[in-house]
Amino acid sequence: MELFYRLLDELRILVQNNFWLTPLIGVFLPFIEAILPTIPLAIIISFNLSVLGSAFGTVQGTILTIFLSTLGSFLGMFLIYLLIKATFAEYFVKKVRKYKYGNTFIDAIQGRSTFFILTLLSNPFLPSSILNYGLSLANIKIKKYLILTIISRFIIIIFMVFLGSVFSIQKNPLNVLWMMLAYFFVLGIWILYLRSRKNKKGSFFEDKD
């Protein structure tokens, strides 16, 4: 983590001296987080919010943070999805299905519950890259994948932006504990809403056989 914080400090100096790089950094960091499972998304969003807010002002910086971070995270996940589908998907599916939990996970994703997948993808405290690997191995339609990924990325990013600005995670990383409590409270409300929608005929979240 110390190396990661040093990298962010270097990037902060870079964008201060090269204003035109600011939007690119806003896309690049979430893009990398979607590929590498060890990078903390909460810190990245807090960093983007700070840098873009300084460059464009509080309101515009917040809007750009949501848009650019969602775009970067989605592009990173979609790139991995396409690469895995085009190369080793079938090989890895056979390997994963040899293990009990791997087989259960793929069956759950390929099952009928869109609600289940969206709930997993919308959790910012689960590694998005690993979840995306699972989606890439599953037999899921690309349209459904795109909708679920974009919605879940937007939910996570907008949550991180507003709570990150409230709890100042980059200045005090321990505040992520308060953020987690707030997240699970909001998640509970979100789950209740989805449950009310999934049984409604014609809803995207409706369970289908």
Prediction pTM value: 0.74
3-state secondary structure of 203: coil
pLDDT computed for residue 198 by the predictor: 58
pLDDT computed for residue 197 by the predictor: 61
* Angle (nearest 5°) at CA 193 between 136 and 49: 65
44: left (phi over 0), alpha (psi -120 to 50) or beta: alpha
CA–CA distance, 40 with 23 (Å, rounded to integer): 20
Beta strands in the chain (DSSP E): none
Query: How many CB atoms lie under 10 A from the CB of residue 152?
Result: 24
How confident is residue 182, by pLDDT bands cut at 50, 70 and 90?
Answer: low
pLDDT digits (tens, 9 = 90+) for 9-67: 888 888 888 888 899 999 999 998 888 877 778 788 888 988 988 889 888 988 899 99
Q: What is the mean pLDDT of the chain?
A: 77
pLDDT computed for residue 118 by the predictor: 79
Nearby residues of 67 by Cβ (< 8 Å), 6 or more positions away: none
pLDDT computed for residue 71 by the predictor: 95
CA–CA distance, 141 with 86 (Å, rounded to integer): 14
Arithmetic mean of pLDDT, 119-135: 76
What the block records as the tokens of 8 is 């962010």
Say whether pLDDT at 90 is over 60.
yes
